Amino acid sequence: MSEIEVEGKTVEEAIQQGLQSMGCTKDKVEIKILNEGTAGLFGLMGSKPARVRITPKEESPADYVAAQKKIKEILSVNLKLMKIDFQDINTAMLTGRLFADIKSADSRFIIGKNGQTLDSLEFILNLMLNRDENTRVKVTLDIEGYRRRQEEKLQSLAQKAGDQVQKTGKPFKFDPMTAKERRIIHISLKNYPGVETLSEGEGMFRKVVVKPADKTKP
């Protein structure tokens, strides 16, 4: 996103138009007033618009060490509030994001039905990290390898669905899934010969459909 120059009847109007155009807030940019503008005679003749230059601030890289420390603090507090015992919280850096894994004998309570509690805890964790630009980094939260096992399970189901569609020539519909789960199915079958995937339905009822590939597509 490059700098822009914007005109308006007033400096504030020019700033607001520029921020709206760039899709950001004042704290993310530097503003230089090029011309404060003049109202002219009776607010009509000889008036000149205000003009400002808005430049995006360079975002400082996240402090991964501080982020990992904060992850452990946030999770510790939330798990204690949930009255869940845990042995350890391990963190590691992946490509462009962090990974956190909880060690606990009460893993079923943290995972919840279909992983909903774990997803909620991950959402809260990312939300709190994003409040500080120094720790603004994406985090994937897992417990006792649950997400890895789920991914492997979904990959296996995707393979079976692909085999069935390829064999019968008929579409196969999965039960409704979360966005993360649907993404795993789509990726797993992306290069599967003779089939294609799509999502249908709305909200919590959205599901993946595996069907024979459209041979008319280039």
pLDDT tens for 4-41 read 999 988 899 889 988 888 878 888 889 999 988 876 55
The pTM for the full model equals 0.64
Give how far Cα 186 sits from Cα of 95, 128, 154, 179, Å: 21, 30, 10, 10
Q: What is the pLDDT of residue 45?
A: 55
Domain identity same for 51 and 112: no
Choose one of 144, 167, 192: the last residue of a domain. 144
Find the domain containing 18 and state its range.
4-56
Q: Is the dihedral of CA 181, 187, 188, 193 positive or negative?
A: positive
**Count of CB atoms situated within 10 Å of the CB of 174:** 18
Same-domain status, 165 and 197: yes
CA atoms of 171 and 167, how far apart (whole Å): 11
**Tokens 């011309």 label which residue?**
35
pLDDT of amino acid 218:
55
Pair (124, 72) in one structural domain: yes
Average pLDDT over residues 47-66: 84
Cα 128 → chain centroid: 14
- With bands split at pLDDT 50, 70 and 90, how would you rate the model's confidence at 175? very high
| Dihedral angle over CA of 118, 123, 127, 130, nearest 10 | 90
* pLDDT higher than 90, residue 125: yes
Other C-beta atoms lying within 10 Å of the C-beta of residue 194: 12
**In a shared domain, residues 121 and 104:** yes
Contact call for residues 210 and 182 (beta carbons, < 8 A): no
